[in-house]
């Protein structure tokens, strides 16, 4: 009985420090019930969000426009050089255009893949933030649940299990 009274006292004190007399959860109490993001997590989320936006927009480190243009010019130059003996050949001209179009489509597909990856990364950051907000919303219910367990005497027991190595 003394342990139950002590547990109930602690639970009552915690509950009264977390709830207003009106029953509303105190905004400052969330920090007592839910761990916030660490500085590294916050910085990581911001960096991931920034990179995701760059990938979607094709800016920053994902701006490959100049490199693609240079590569296409180099391909065109190489194809022109290889066709020097066939100047004016319509067949050679069509082959060069087809090669440039194929390479252009390859670059466009890579750009689309980067944008898709950026969108998914941005969604991941949003999902992490949403989970944190949900934990904050659930904190009052959890605190009341702990309190009701103490009041009813249905306090969960902590158990630890160990596994033995066994085997040969």
Q: Check: CB of residue 143 under 8 Å from CB of residue 15.
A: yes
Q: Which domain holds residue 123?
A: 2-152
Residue 162: inside a domain: no
Residue 164: inside a domain: no
Ordered alpha helix ranges (H), the chain: 2-18, 30-33, 39-57, 65-82, 90-152
Residue 84: inside a domain: yes
Report the chain (168 residues): mean pLDDT per 10 consecutive residues.
74 79 80 78 85 83 74 70 59 70 75 78 85 81 75 63 54
Q: Check: CB of residue 1 under 8 Å from CB of residue 8.
A: no
User: Kind and range of the H or E element at 83?
Assistant: none
Residue 160: inside a domain: no
Q: Per the confidence metrics, is the pTM higher than 0.75?
A: no
CA 96 to chain centre: 43
Residue 165: inside a domain: no
Residue 159: inside a domain: no
Structurally, how many domains does the chain consist of? 1
Residue 18: inside a domain: yes
Would you state the pLDDT for residue 134? 85
The two three-digit tokens of residue 108, written as one number: 């466009």
Residue 66: inside a domain: yes
């Amino acid at each position: 009985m003394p342990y139950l009274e002590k547990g109930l006292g602690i639970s009552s004190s915690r509950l009264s420090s977390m709830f207003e007399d009106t029953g509303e959860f105190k905004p400052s109490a969330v920090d007592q019930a839910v761990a916030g993001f660490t500085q590294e997590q916050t910085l990581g989320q911001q960096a991931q969000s920034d990179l995701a936006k760059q990938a979607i927009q094709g800016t920053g480190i994902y701006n490959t426009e100049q490199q693609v243009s240079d590569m296409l010019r180099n391909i065109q130059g190489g194809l022109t050089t290889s066709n020097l003996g066939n100047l004016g050949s319509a067949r050679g001209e069509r082959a060069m255009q087809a090669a440039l179009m194929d390479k252009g489509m390859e670059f466009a597909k890579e750009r689309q893949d980067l944008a898709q990856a950026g969108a998914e990364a941005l969604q991941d950051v949003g999902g992490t933030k949403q989970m944190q907000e949900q934990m904050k919303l659930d904190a009052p219910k959890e605190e009341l649940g702990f309190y009701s367990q103490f009041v009813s005497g249905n306090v969960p027991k902590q158990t630890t299990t160990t596994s033995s190595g066994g085997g040969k």
